[in-house]
Amino acid sequence: MKKQILAVFKKDGLKKYLPGIAWFFLTLIAISIPGKQLPKFGAWFEQISFDKLIHTFLFGVLAVLWMLPVALSPLPVQNKKHWFIKVAIATALWGLAAELIQKYFIPMRSYDVVDLIANTLGAIIAFVYFKAKFGKAVKV
């Protein structure tokens, strides 16, 4: 079984994962912007927690871009399921790391548990999407 998985990834190479890799670095850049350089939105955007929607979107797209090549691969259904779960967990952990990076290394940025929840929600939404789209591939 491991040989089959390695053969799929060896055949496809990293090319199919380049969008996910690029998006990962885009999120790294986005979370590294110092607080005073962040764009200011009006009070209305603050009332609807626009920032949280951005977090959910960034991390949801990240998970989708890593799940999609696996979904379209010839891997067995069970292996796809495991990869989707692993990607969702890795994305949520990256969300935690992003918050810790902001807290300790980025001026005028802080750890926000609600941002962490939004990051994780993005990963969960991506997983649920793949569960609906590739239902047999991700039955839990």
Contact assessment for residue 35 and residue 109, using Cβ atoms and an 8 Å cutoff: yes
- pLDDT (tens place) for every residue of the chain, 140 residues total: 666 656 656 666 788 999 999 999 999 999 888 866 565 666 655 555 788 999 999 999 999 999 999 898 888 878 888 899 999 999 999 999 999 999 999 888 889 999 999 999 999 999 999 988 876 644 44
DSSP label of 38: S
pLDDT of residue 48: 53
Give the CA diameter of the chain: 55
Q: CA 68, CA 87: separation in Å to the nearest integer?
A: 10
pLDDT of residue 139: 46
Whole-structure pTM value: 0.83
pLDDT of residue 138: 46
CB atoms within 10 A of CB 92: 21
Instruction: Please report, for the chain, the start and end positions of each structural domain, with discontinuous segments joined by +.
Output: 2-137
Contact assessment for residue 17 and residue 69, using Cβ atoms and an 8 Å cutoff: yes
